[in-house]
Chains A and B, each alone.
Chain A
Amino acid sequence: MAELSGKYLVGVYDDDDTVLHAVPRLRKAGVKIKEVYSPFPIHGMDEALGHPRTRIGIAAFMFGVTGCICALTLMIWTMGIDWPMIVGGKDPISIPNYIPITFELTVLFTAFGMVTTFFISNGLGPGSHFHPRFDLRSTDNKFVMAIDLGRNSMTVDEISRALKDSGAEEVNIKQF
């Protein structure tokens, strides 16, 4: 299989429903699908491909907790410990007055932390526009399925026929 490493079979589909139904069929037939690329999210596609559920929510929660703790620490330390002040007859540490900023910083940390995690986990970044693409029409109107030939034990012909049978309108071969 050495000569097939870096070679991909690219199935181009015309319809989001077709590609969504093609995925379980192909997987059942024993084809290992690398990814499906689409111009918009297809609901159920990640489950069909067997991708694990994203854990980005856990990261977001952690960032939120960090933001909350940072905000409270900042305000309690500055207002109550570093330079205690009585403002408007309130205690130097008056938690109700700290709620708005605590909320804002929690949101700020969650949003930025989560989006940074999103960029890193997807390998997105300003320099990553050199990434190879299977078919440029996948950001316009086509649905593109990539199959890594190096990772499949089936022959190219078998996979190609399976792709055609599942509704692919074009099957291309792509080498990186």
Chain B
Amino acid sequence: MHVTSPVREPLIQGGKTYADVTEDICRHVESAPTKEWKIAFGLSLVVLAYGTVCLAWTWWEGLGVWGLNKTVGWAWDITNFVWWVGIGHAGTLISAILLLFRQKWRTSINRAAEAMTIFAVICAASFILMHMGRPWMAYWALPLPNAFGSLWVNFNSPLVWDVFAISTYFSVSLVFWYIGLIPDLATIRDRATSKVSRFMYGTFAMGWDGSAKTWARYEYISLILAGLSTPLVLSVHTIVSMDFATSVIPGWHTTIFPPYFVAGAIFSGFAMVQNLMLITRVVYKLEDYITLEHIETMNKVITLTGSVVGVAYITEFFIAWYGGVEYEYYAFFNRMTGPYWWAYWAMMTCNVISPQLFWSRKLRRSITFTFFISVVVNIGMWFERFVIIVTSLHRDYLPSSWAMFSPTRYDIGDYIFSFGLFFTLFLLFSKYLPVVNMAEVKAVLRSTSAQLPAKISGVAKVRQRGTAEPAYDKDKE
């Protein structure tokens, strides 16, 4: 038998058996949608509908409906894009990097975090389509030959790198998430009582039978996918940061951008995971699976990455002064004391000060406080992108063209669209798919459970179909 190491705090509470894990996590998939879910879903659809109307008008009328002007050519669109891509970093980090580091606490949260990643990247991509103005020409970003009437795309451009990075990241994350889902879909298929759900889950479970050979290959490809996703997740925000860093705009043209953006992405991504998991665990009664240990560990990651971001802000500022380039110096001085000082100080307060409060064990184990700080961090990270983009652009080399940016209702409406899309997708996910990876939790149950039941497999509450054949028992005959 295994020996449990007492060094680590237990991750699963309540003395769960394997059958309990299946029951607890399948319950919300198999039961009818609750009233709360319907209300939340209805609200998301209303938000999405409002956003869709705004977006339709943006595309119908053109980008002139946004608050952009000759000086500030990028504002909320790219801010929102970078913000959503950043949020989309936590899922793959949890499932890939933590898999390589053998962190068992990832098993309870990786499914939902990866789903969040995929939806966040969809939201980010929607801003890329929006800011094109003519989204029906989006395929021009692909390397297509001259017959389409243009040159080849410029492979020296970070914007083209971004096309490849984001689409690779999205598709590889989707594959990784889906591979992890297959065993759980098979569980739901085998428990399904209605023909429709047996067919639907059966189709997507792809005939999974859980044989030893399949599991061995499954574990092998999970490890390789994790190994591939780890540099991939780091490359995505690196390339996003190069959209700025390879330009010659003061405030953007800095070599610190790649690590600084990656740390910020993980920071905001974990904050969003906290927001979603704190609600999900209560609504679906998963407190035994997503425990205070998980919340505390994620808060530690938030503090670490938040500190990296803080150091990056200060380094950037120091180099702007120490480098002696007056344009660079002005760009940073203007961020702090210029007309957008409030955005800069909002960013500093939310991102540098707030995560430091988690040094207190009491605060990082407080659910209310964690939720509050997670929201604050996401606000701060939105302001970070706004500060980088708008304050660097609004005062360019020619003082006569200095301008301010203020959002119109369509800037705001298109941002609202992404929230509607995100929550609609997340609610659909959380109703129709298991929000916790059952197979992975069962695999670590023995070594991470607080107290083990006498019989770990437990008794399946739902009597199974397909065991109709009489047991072969010669002794009793």
Residue A94 at the chain B interface, CB threshold 8 Å? yes
The answer to whether B460 touches A51, judged by C-beta atoms less than 8 angstroms apart, is no
Task: Judge whether A124 and B207 touch: CB under 8 Å.
Answer: yes
CB of B291, distance to nearest CB on chain A (Å): 20
Please give, as numbers and ranges, the residues of chain A lying within 8 Å of B171 by CB-CB distance: 108, 111-112
Select which of A83, A122, A135, A140 is within 8 A of B213 by beta carbon: A122
Q: Does B61 contact A (CB under 8 A)?
A: no
- Of the listed stretches B218-226, B268-276, B329-337, B400-408, chain A binds B218-226
- Nearest Cβ on chain A to B317's Cβ, whole angstroms: 28
Q: Are the CB atoms of A54 and B464 closer together than 8 Å?
A: no
A29 in the interface (beta carbon within 8 A): no
B190, A54: Cβ atoms closer than 8 Å = no
**Given contacts A36-B212, A75-B155, A41 and B466 within 8 Å (CB-CB):** no
Interfacial chain B residues near A74, Cβ < 8 Å: 143
Residue of B nearest to A38 (CB): B210
The contact string, 1 if C-beta is below 8 Å from chain B, for chain A 159-173, is 011000000001111
The answer to whether A139 and B210 touch across the interface, beta carbons within 8 angstroms, is yes
Within B368-385, the residues touching A (CB, 8 Å) are none
A102 to chain B, nearest CB (A): 9
Bound CA–CA A26/B226 (angstroms): 35
Write the chain B residue with the least CB distance to A67: B168
Contact flag A129-B203 (CB < 8 Å), given A54-B217, A110-B228, A139-B186: yes
Chain A 36-48, CB within 8 Å of chain B: the 1/0 string?
Answer: 1111111001100
Contact residues of A between 133 and 162, Cβ < 8 Å to B: 133, 135-143, 156-157, 160-161
- A122 near B467: Cβ-Cβ < 8 Å: no
- Report the Cα distance A133→B220, complex, angstroms: 24
* Chain B neighbourhood of A129, CB < 8 A: 189, 199, 202-203, 205-207
Interchain nearest-CB distance for A19 vs B (Å) = 10
Q: Are B217 and A97 in contact (CB under 8 A)?
A: no
The closest CB in chain A to the CB of B213 belongs to A51
State the CA gap A170–B471 with chains docked (Å): 7
Mark interface residues in A69-106 (1 if CB within 8 Å of B CB, else 0). 00000110011001101011010001001101101110
Complex Cα distance A139/B106, Å? 21
Contacts of A101 in B (CB 8 A): 155, 160-161, 164
Q: How many residues of A contact B (CB 8 A)?
A: 79
Is B154 an interface residue when CB atoms closer than 8 A count as contact? yes
A133–B1 Cα distance when bound, in Å, is 29
Chain A residue at smallest Cβ distance from B211: A35
Asked if B152 contacts A104 (CB within 8 A), the reply is no
Q: Given the interface contacts A56-B220, A114-B224, does A85 sit within 8 Å of B151 by beta carbon?
A: yes
Picked from A51, A111, A115, the residue with its CB within 8 Å of the CB of B216 is A51
- Alpha-carbon distance between A23 and B167 when the two chains are bound, in angstroms: 45
Nearest-CB residue, chain B, relative to A23:
B212
Complex contact A128–B207 (CB within 8 A): yes
| Residue in chain A with minimal CB distance to B174 | A111
- Contact in complex: B152, A160 (CB < 8 Å): no
Instruction: State whether B155 touches A40 (Cβ < 8 A).
Output: no
Q: Is the pair B168, A104 in contact by a Cβ cutoff of 8 Å? A: yes
B172 touches A133 (CB 8 A): no
- Whether the Cβ atoms of A136 and B235 lie closer than 8 Å is no
Q: Which residues of B contact A60 (CB under 8 A)?
A: 221, 224
- With both chains docked as a complex, state the minimum distance between the C-beta of B11 and any C-beta of chain A, in angstroms: 15
Q: B187-198, CB under 8 A of A: which get 1 and which 0?
A: 101110000000
Cβ contacts under 8 Å, B360 to chain A? none
Residue from B219, B235, B457 whose CB has the most chain A CB atoms within 10 Å:
B457
Contact with A along B121-143 (1 / 0, CB 8 A): 00000000000000000000001
| Closest B residue, CB atoms, query A170 | B471
In the complex the two chains form, is A42's CB within 8 Å of B215's CB?
yes
Alpha-carbon distance A118/B232, docked complex (angstroms): 21
Interface residues on B, range: 35 or more
**Cβ-defined contact, A122 with B214, below 8 A:** yes
Q: Which residues of A contact B157 (CB under 8 A)?
A: 87
Q: Is the CB of A172 within 8 A of B469?
A: yes
- Chain B residues whose C-beta falls within 8 Å of the C-beta of A39 in the assembled complex: 18, 22, 183, 187, 210, 438-439, 442
Given contacts A135-B467, A138-B209, contact A41 B218 (CB under 8 A): yes
A56 to B214, CA, bound (A): 12
Q: What residues of chain B lie closer than 8 Å to A90, measured between beta carbons?
A: 156
Given A37-B209, A137-B467, A140-B464, verify A105-B164 contact (CB < 8 Å): yes
Q: A46-B215, A124-B206, A139-B190 are in contact. Are A40 and B22 (CB under 8 A)?
A: no
Contact residues in B for A41 (Cβ distance below 8 Å): 215-216, 218-219, 439, 443
CB-defined contacts of A118 to chain B, threshold 8 Å: 179, 217-218, 221
Contacts of B204 in A (CB 8 A): 126
Give the Cβ gap from B372 to chain A, nearest Cβ, in Å.
36
Min CB distance A3 to B, Å, is: 15
Residues of A in contact with B (beta carbons under 8 Å apart): 9, 14-17, 35-42, 45-46, 49, 51, 54, 56-57, 60, 74-75, 78-79, 82-83, 85, 87-88, 90, 94, 97-98, 100-101, 103-105, 107-108, 110-112, 114-115, 118-119, 121-131, 133, 135-143, 156-157, 160-161, 170-175
Contacts A60-B224, A85-B151, A115-B175 supplied; 18 other A-B pairs, CB < 8 Å: A39-B18, A45-B216, A56-B220, A75-B155, A87-B154, A97-B155, A100-B161, A100-B164, A101-B160, A107-B231, A108-B168, A110-B228, A111-B176, A125-B207, A127-B207, A131-B209, A171-B472, A171-B473
Would you give 24 A-B contacts (Cβ < 8 Å), ordered by A? A9-B472, A17-B1, A39-B439, A40-B439, A41-B443, A45-B216, A46-B213, A51-B212, A83-B146, A83-B152, A101-B160, A103-B235, A111-B172, A115-B221, A119-B206, A121-B217, A128-B206, A129-B203, A133-B190, A139-B189, A143-B457, A160-B472, A171-B473, A172-B471
* 3 cross-chain pairs, A with B, having the tightest CB-CB distances, nearest first: A128-B207, A129-B202, A141-B18
